[in-house]
Structure formats: structure tokens, C-alpha cells
Amino acid sequence: MSDLFEGLKQKITGRNLKIVFPEGMDERILKAAGRLAEEKVLTPIIIGNIEQVQAKANELGVSLEAAEIYDPQNYAGMEELVASFVDRRKGKATEEDARKILLDENYFGTMLVYLNKADGLVSGAAHSTADTVRPALQIIKTKQGVKKTSGVFIMVRGDEKYVFADCAINIAPDSQDLAEIAVESAKTAKMFDIEPRVAMLSFSTKGSAKSPETEKVAEAVELAKQLAPELVLDGEFQFDAAFVPSVAKSKAPGSVIQGDANVFVFPSLEAGNIGYKIAQRLGNFEAVGPILQGLNRPVNDLSRGCNEEDVYKLALITAAQVL
């Protein structure tokens, strides 16, 4: 395992953190959860029928002795969950609605996080992104001052580490959205021991082109500086001006970013998604994520094509977001 994840393991081991895995019958989930429990990195909370989950684990040769298994159909604390869910939804769900909704493993698991019975949640191996994110947005909600959650990738190649955002959630972020994404991405960078130097990207550098698209990014730069004046942040930049010192010297000589940016905020989901996949496929970077940011408590979404190692690593990230 890379130093990136060994560092995360060291940070979270011994903190008695609990991470919920709603997809208790998925082989990849059980293997990763068993490994996390056996290594005493964290306590997995697995959602599902207790006998069925245990039988599946036995079949796979996985020990869940140090894990917890909760069944929404027979959960002793369900009354508390129902009452809290009705209160949280503020008239959008009756008690009868809540009893049905909380039988859904993602809603049930998200309520455990909301009520501090768990520290974070990892789902998506067998569910869509919407199935994972919707309960989080309805129950946990975004942090004060943040309108929208966003999704970042940590791009890793050897000793190189960069943050790319937003590559997963917001299709057409406005200036305020981009400013919030920049600030939250800087916080995520610190979690991975990256001292953030944030570049707001465009197809223009410091006014070299004028259009609504470039002006949106320039405005986002000013808003981000107001939100977090202590951040090393600038833009708008073309990627080369943010990443190559000689180009920065020519195109943005007065900037605090001199070709040494390590957090890159893309102007749209289209650009971000294409950008990280080019780095992954042509540049041979490992793309870790998407990591969801901006929520009050950590919830993260797996790809349905994930493997056991992906589950294990995303659980480490989720636990680290608690600290």
C-alpha cells in the first residue's frame, strides 16, 4: 500500500472510529470490512440480516468478530431513528413514511451517522451515486456556508500528489460554488498532508481571454479569497500557467502561484471529469476518489465497478475526514 494510505491508517488507528457499510451482502464490502476489523483500524458497522451476513462472511472465510451487524428489520433503536428522521425532514415525511424509508439500508445507515452512532458511511458498490448521496443531502446536509457538496480526486503518481475538483457532482458550478469548492478542496488536501496551493482553472490566464466563462472563474477567485484569505490561491489560469514555472513567469509574473499549484479547481464537471481521466490514463496517475466534501459528516460513494482494495481505501479516507 502506498505511503498515502499508510499515513491515513496511522492517523485513524486507535481513534475508535465506526464506519457504516450499508451493503452487507456484497463480497467486496465484507472482505474489506473484515480486514479493517482484523487490523483494528476501525470498527465496521455492517447493515443487513445478521444471519445472512454472518453466513456470507463464513462462506468467504471472513471474520466479523470485531465488527457490528445491524438489521433495520430488527433494530432496537428504530423508534429513536424514526422520530429523529421525521424531525429532520420537517414536515416532508410522516412517521409512517419514516418507518418505510428507514428500512432502506442507505437511509438507515445515514441516520446512524447523523445520530452519532457511527462516524461515517461508505456505500455505492451495489447502489447508484444518487442512492448514496440523496440520504446524506436530506439528513446530514451540507456544512454551514456551503451550498453544495462536491467530489474530488487525489491524483497520485509516486511521490506526486494533487487534488482535482470538482470531478464528480456539480455539472455547471457558478462563481460561489467554485469558491466553496476551492476552500473545501484545500481542507481535503491538508488531510493528505498536501499544503494547498490552489489554482482556479480556465482557458484564459489573468484576463488573456474575455468571456462569461472566464469572468465566472475570475469572480470565483475573489470570492474564495474572501472566504479563506489565508489560502495560497489564485486564477484564472490555463493549466500550464498553474503548473509550469516558466509559463507562469511569462503569463502570470505577479501571481502567488508560480507553476507550483497542487490543488486544481476546474470550471465545470465536464472539464474536471475529462481532466482527471486524461491524467489517469495518459499520465499513469492513480485516481483516488471521488471523495465527497462539504457535508456535515463524511459519506463517500464507491464505483459499482470497485474492488475490495477500493472499499478498504475509501473507508480509510472516510475515517480520516472525521478527524
Query: What is the tens place of the pLDDT at every residue in 111-124?
Result: 999 999 999 999 99
pLDDT in tens, 144-189: 889 999 999 999 998 899 999 999 899 999 999 999 999 999 999 9
Is CATH 3.40.50.10750 the classification given to domain 150-286? yes
d(CA 24, CA 68): 11
Kind and range of the H or E element at 267?
A: none
Q: Which residue has the cell 490543488?
A: 263
Beta pairing partners, 234: 199
The mean pLDDT value for 229-242 works out to 97
CA 181 from centroid of its chain's CA atoms: 12
Percentage of the chain beyond pLDDT 90 is: 89
pLDDT in tens, 103-112: 999 999 999 9
d(CA 124, CA 237): 34
Exposed / middle / buried, residue 53 (Cβ in 10 Å: 0-12, 13-18, 19+):
buried
DSSP single-letter state for residue 62: -
Say which CATH architecture domain 3-141+296-322 belongs to: 3-Layer(aba) Sandwich (3.40)
* pLDDT at position 5: 87
Give the range among 125-129, 227-231, 236-240 with minimum mean pLDDT. Answer: 125-129
276 neighbors 287 (Cβ within 8 angstroms)? yes
- Do 3-141+296-322 and 150-286 agree at the fold level? yes
Instruction: Give me Rg for the CA atoms of the chain.
Output: 21
* pLDDT at position 1: 57
> Where do the domains of the chain lie?
3-141+296-322, 150-286
102 neighbors 85 (Cβ within 8 angstroms)? yes
